[in-house]
Structure formats: C-alpha cells, structure tokens
Structure 1
Amino acid sequence: MDDYAANSTSADAILSELIKKTARLHLAELGGGGLSLDSLARDCGRAVTEVQALFPHRDDVLTALVIDAYDASGGAMERADKDAAALHASAGARLLAVTRALRQWSFDHPAEFTLIYGSPVPGYHAPQDTVLPASRTPGVLAGIVGAALAGGELTPPRRTVPGPPLLLPAAVEAFGGLPPAPFSDVIERGIVLWSSLIGLLVFQVFSRTHDSVRDEAAFFDYAIAVAAETIGLVVPLDGDAH
C-alpha cells in the first residue's frame, strides 16, 4: 500500500470514528429514530457527501453502532470470564462475574443498550453483519454452561422438555452437540437463562425495579442466582451458608 492510500485509509478511519462518536451522542439525545446524515455531518463539521462516502444511509450508521455495542458488551463479558477463569473460579462464580460485567456496561452505555435490547428503531432492520457480534453474549454464557456440564457442576433438572428438543440445528451445533440425559435440555435452559438476563437488565436500566427493591445490585445478583438454578448451577452469593 502506497503512502497516499495509507493516509487515505487512516483519514477514513478517523472520520468514521468521529461520525460514530457523534452518532452515539445523538442516539442518547434523540434515539435511533432521530439520527440523520445531515445532522451528523453538521455536528462533525463535515460535508454530507463526506459522511455519505463512509455511511451512504442512516441505517449504515445504525448498523455500525449496533455492531460496536454488541462487540463492546460481549468483550466486557469475555474479559470478565477470562479473569474469573484465571482465578479458577467455579462456573457459578464465572456466571456472576460475566453478568455483572454486562450490567456495568449497560448502565455505563444506556443509549447503546437501548439500541440493541430496547424498542426497535422504526424502519430499521439489522443485517446479517450484526449476527456474529450479537452471538458473543450467548456465546459466553454457553461456554460457562458447557464448562459446568463437563466439570460435573450441574444438578440434574426436575423438569425436562416434553417431546423432542425445541431447538434449531444451528443452536445445537453452536453448543457443540446435544448433551446426553439427564442434561439433554440444557441448551433450552441456557436460552431461558440468557433471556432472563436480558429481561432483568431491561428492568434495571429502564428503572422498572427501583421502586420495588432497596438494593438493585444485590437484587441483580440474587436474580442471576435464581435464574441459574433453572440449569442446575449454583451461583455463590455473599452471605450464603455454603
């Protein structure tokens, strides 16, 4: 790559980051539906044509923000899991660490959290490019559940899925295959855990629990421990007798 091409690429990367940084500010003030290339160009001090050269449509900006949000939140969970695993933490302790990391990211970045887990932006449909970044969060959870299964840390469930598995083949493949009985429905249970986590965060980020509980952080930990019981995993909490 010659110097001109390298400088051009570098300039594009800098402008792209500036546009996204400005878009995040607009996202917090106006929501996803309030983004426009004209307003982004104005607040970046650039011509609309310069913005359009990198992001031809508003939806391209939204997609970039969605990908960044999934990567940032998933990355926070992955780092927390790596740190917990390095301390030889139990699977339950790893689960608590990664869910706390996602909670912290969510409170630190409420606009981005709303973009990926809140109300859909009217007229926007996330493209295939967002699928892999979005898979990082369930991927961390699946890794912990898989480690718990392999390490004998799961308690067999009292209830199993009636009839055949309720899964698409891609979900089974992503987990590494269908576990044997009595844990043959652990993937379904993992999806319950994942959805419980996101639902809990929605309640807390959007202040649905602040007038019901006196300590939201402690309640979050408790709720994760309760949700983990659905897959037979014990999450250690302060004050536990065991």
Structure 2
Amino acid sequence: MPTTPRARARAQTMTDIVRIGREHLATDGAAALSLRAVARDLGVVSSAVYRYVSSRDELLTLLVVDGYNALGDEVDAALAEAPDDPIGQIRILARTVRRWALAEPARYGLLFGTPVPGYDAPADETMAPGTRVIIALQSLFARAYQSDLLHVPALVPRLSSPLATDFAQIRNDLHLDIPDWLIIRGVTFWASLFGAVSADVFDMYGAETFADRAELFELQLDALLDMLGYRPNS
C-alpha cells in the first residue's frame, strides 16, 4: 500500500484513470479510447495524464488487467461461499462468469470479444490475471476426477509427442495430477463455456430465438458436464 502522500495521490489518480477508462469503454468502445478524453474527464490538461499512462495501449492494458481481475474476484468470492462439491462449484463458476459478462458487456468484450486493431496485450502483464478463472476451472476438474466423479472415456486418445509435451507442461505449471483425456475435455469445456457466454452477451442467437436463455445456459452446462465425464446418480 502507498505510504507517502505523493504515493497515495498517484495511486488515487491511477484508480481514477482506470475508472474513467471503464466509463469510456462502455460508452465509446475499446477502439475509440482516447487519453485526451480521459484527461478531460479527469480535469487535467492532456499532457498531464501522460505522466501516469504513456499511451492508449497502456490504458488498454490497464483495463484488460482490471477486467480480468474483476472477473477473477467475482469467481473467487462465489466459490468461497459454495459448498465443498467440485461439480456444484463448476456450475457456480460458470454461472458467475455469465452473470458478470451480462452485467459488464463492454469489459467482457474487451477481454473475449473482437481484438482492438493495432493492440497486442503484453503477456507479462496480462497472463496471470487472464488465467485466474481457467486455473480455478482446471483445479475443479482435478478435484472432481480425484473424487471419482468423472468417468474415463471408452477410447482414451493418443497424443502426438509435441502435444503430449504441452500437456505435461500444463500439469507441471498448474500442479495438477490429471490424465491427458481430462485435459482435452477440460479445454473443450473452457472453450465451450466462453463460447456460450459470448453468444449470449453479443446476441449471436438472435433476439427472439430462445425464450429463456438462462434455462438454455443450464442445459448447456448439463451437456458440458456430460462431455466432461460426469454422470449424476451413477
């Protein structure tokens, strides 16, 4: 935490810049973000804001990190209050992602929507916050597997040497003891979850296609858990 008045003032200014950036993201879109507009709303001359944020790309990175952490915090809080059941927690995580995305469509769009032209998020700043939900999901898959809640597929896939190396690296990085087939299904679950949420947030279904999208999402979760290997009451 900042300990000097100058450090506290700088931290508050950075907080205000991110807050104003979020507001402009919601009203104008990521591609139209402008440091001049942020400076105007901050009440300073445009040159002053560059002492805190050097470019539009740096502002975008701040907003990306802020968005990932906001989503991660929502998921962590929901899981902290959930019963100790990995399948139930997978459902809660998925519902939390959807709820946050529908409440924050502009921030969700920045993270998982169309890339901003000319912007490439720096991995060293965005990787850790950007993988929080994925790591939480993979950990729940591992707990479900270790609790014998997931069925082994009849045909266990055979991997090429390069892909097997990738999977071994994932196990090592995340400290997970899970088989290759569960990594494949886990990645499929993750990609399908965010695909379903994106289809809802960005209205890819069409306005009148489904009467109850919340019910549809629950049925999609059932299908994804079945794909994962979960068989209730078996």
Normalising by structure 1, we get a TM-score of 0.87
Q: In the alignment, is the contact (CA less than 8 A) between 1:157 and 1:230 conserved in 2?
A: no
Structure 2 counterpart SS, 1:153: coil
String of CA shifts for 1:43-80, please: whole Å, max 9, x gaps: 21112232111111111111011001111111211222
Q: CA deviation at 1:230?
A: 1.8
Structure 1 counterpart SS, 2:50: helix
Q: CA deviation at 1:158?
A: 3.3
Structure 2 counterpart SS, 1:119: coil
Q: CA deviation at 1:25?
A: 1.3
| Distance change >3 Å, CA 60–CA 227, structure 1 → 2 | same
Q: CA deviation at 1:160?
A: 2.9
- In angstroms, what is the RMSD of aligned CA positions? 2.1
What is residue 214 of structure 1 aligned with on the other side? 211
* Equivalence map 1:28-39=2 (5 Å): 28-39=26-37
The structure 1 residue matched to 2:9, chosen from 11, 15, 24, is 11
Which of structure 1's runs of 4+ aligned residues deviate more than 6 A? none
Q: In the alignment, is the contact (CA less than 8 A) between 1:27 and 1:111 conserved in 2?
A: yes
Q: In the alignment, is the contact (CA less than 8 A) between 1:175 and 1:187 conserved in 2?
A: no
The structure 1 residue matched to 2:94, chosen from 99, 113, 117, is 99
The answer for unaligned runs of 5 or more in structure 1 is: none
User: Aligned equivalents of 1:52 and 1:159: distance in 2?
Assistant: 58
User: Aligned equivalents of 2:138 and 2:58: distance in 1?
Assistant: 30
Normalising by structure 2, we get a TM-score of 0.90
Structure 1 counterpart SS, 2:180: coil
String of CA shifts for 1:138-195, please: whole Å, max 9, x gaps: 111011101101111111123432334735243222342563xxx4311121111000
The answer for unaligned runs of 5 or more in structure 2 is: none
What is residue 158 of structure 1 aligned with on the other side? 154
How high is the sequence identity, in percent, across the aligned residues? 28
What is residue 139 of structure 1 aligned with on the other side? 135
User: Aligned equivalents of 1:117 and 1:199: distance in 2?
Assistant: 9
* Equivalence map 1:15-54=2 (5 Å): 15-54=13-52
* Equivalence map 1:1-242=2 (5 Å): 6-84=4-82, 87-88=83-84, 90-127=85-122, 128-164=124-160, 166=163, 168=166, 169-177=168-176, 179=178, 183-209=179-205, 210-234=207-231
User: Aligned equivalents of 1:159 and 1:107: distance in 2?
Assistant: 38
Q: In the alignment, is the contact (CA less than 8 A) between 2:142 and 2:177 conserved in 1?
A: no
Q: In the alignment, is the contact (CA less than 8 A) between 1:69 and 1:113 conserved in 2?
A: yes
Q: In the alignment, is the contact (CA less than 8 A) between 1:157 and 1:231 conserved in 2?
A: no
Q: CA deviation at 1:233?
A: 2.3
Q: In the alignment, is the contact (CA less than 8 A) between 1:178 and 1:184 conserved in 2?
A: no
Q: Give, as a single letter, the amino acid of the residue that structure 2 aligns with 1:213.
A: F
User: Aligned equivalents of 1:119 and 1:133: distance in 2?
Assistant: 19
Structure 2 counterpart SS, 1:15: helix
- The alignment of Structure 1 onto Structure 2 pairs a total of residues equal to 229
